[in-house]
């Protein structure tokens, strides 16, 4: 990410704080607290060779690149960009959305366009970005992948990353990870214990409005800010 792009994210983050009525003075210490003067390293995804050993199986996968190799090998019509993820694999914070908004052939990340810019600003305001957050979606935009496999894939990513907190953006993500079939207006702002096989302790996950919804309903910014502060508190 260029310095210009990073500056634009900082501007959006400051606008975000203003829009939600943040009254705390943004002096040097406060800006540093919110992550507004950090210089994060951003992680570029390397090209992935889809060839894997014959004896390679889903259960022994222990990193995200290997998971993508496996999926490309086992799902013939899966485009190389369909399994989209971004950020740092060993992050304390994991953000999970529902689906991408653009064609998967454009080599896009899980969150992009106006949705991505808003999400960047939201997380930047509490000191998180691509250097300390892992991002992914639950849907891979392939008709050959059923819901059970989608569940396995997202839970495998959680097992690999082992975050301390999960942000679930929208009702679909919340339903898959909690088995609670309620609208986002019933679950938003609530914390759930996410149980993953082979992880002894449950992982706290919060249900939040998707940035797509926030863009269409700007009055939801204040509720979202409360959720973000709860995430920050949980991670400190």
Entry pTM: 0.80
Torsions phi, psi for 215 (to 5 deg) = -60, -35
Tokens representing 132 are 């300390």
**Which of 93, 103, 179, 175 minimizes the C-alpha distance to 136?**
93
Rounded-to-10 torsion of CA 144, 82, 98, 115: -150
Q: What H or E segment, with its residue span, contains residue 33?
A: helix 28-33
CA dist., res. 86 & res. 161, Å (int): 12
Q: What H or E segment, with its residue span, contains residue 80?
A: none
Give the position of tokens 């992880």.
199
CA dist., res. 137 & res. 102, Å (int): 13
**Which of 201, 135, 206 minimizes the C-alpha distance to 167?**
206
Rounded-to-10 torsion of CA 168, 173, 174, 176: -140
58 CB neighbour count, 10 Å cutoff: 13
Any idea which of 36-45, 89-98, 147-156 has the lowest mean pLDDT? 36-45
Give the position of tokens 């679950």.
187
pLDDT digits (tens, 9 = 90+) for 130-188: 999 999 998 876 666 778 888 899 999 999 999 999 999 999 999 999 999 999 999 99
User: Under the phi-then-psi rule, with left for phi > 0, alpha for psi from -120 to 50, and beta for the rest, what region is 189?
Assistant: left
For the chain, what percent of residues have pLDDT higher than 70? 71
Instruction: Please state the three-class secondary structure of 148-214 as a single string.
Output: HHHHHHHHHHHHHHCCCEEEEECHHHHHHHHCCCCCHHHHCCCEEEECCCCCCCCEEEEEECCHHHH
Question: What pLDDT was estimated at residue 205?
Answer: 98
Question: What pLDDT was estimated at residue 150?
Answer: 85
The pLDDT confidence band at residue 7, using thresholds 50, 70 and 90, is low
Sign, Cα dihedral of 17, 21, 26, 30: negative
Domains in the chain, please, with CATH?
3-45+85-234 (3.40.470.10)
Contact 130, 42 (CB under 8 A): yes
**Which of 146, 201, 151 minimizes the C-alpha distance to 179?**
151
């Amino acid at each position: 990410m260029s310095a210009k792009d990073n500056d634009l994210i900082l501007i959006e983050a400051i606008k975000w704080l203003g829009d939600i009525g943040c009254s705390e003075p943004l002096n040097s210490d406060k800006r540093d607290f919110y992550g507004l003067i950090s210089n994060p390293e951003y992680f570029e995804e390397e090209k992935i060779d889809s060839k894997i050993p014959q004896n390679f199986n889903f259960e022994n996968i222990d990193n995200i690149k290997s998971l993508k190799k496996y999926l490309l090998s086992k799902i013939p019509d899966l485009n190389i960009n369909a399994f989209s993820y971004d950020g740092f694999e060993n992050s304390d914070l994991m953000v999970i959305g529902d689906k991408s908004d653009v064609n998967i052939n454009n080599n896009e990340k899980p969150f992009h366009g106006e949705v991505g810019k808003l999400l960047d600003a939201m997380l930047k305001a509490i000191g998180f970005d691509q250097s300390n957050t892992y991002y992914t979606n639950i849907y891979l935009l392939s008709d050959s992948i059923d819901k059970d496999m989608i569940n396995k894939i997202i839970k495998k990513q959680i097992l690999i990353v082992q975050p301390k907190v999960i942000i679930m953006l929208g009702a679909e993500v919340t339903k898959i990870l909690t088995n609670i079939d309620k609208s986002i207006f019933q679950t938003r702002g609530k914390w759930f214990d996410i149980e993953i096989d082979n992880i002894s302790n449950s992982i706290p996950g919060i249900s939040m409005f998707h940035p797509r919804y926030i863009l269409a309903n700007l009055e939801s910014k204040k509720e979202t800010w409360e959720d973000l502060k709860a995430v920050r508190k949980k991670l400190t």
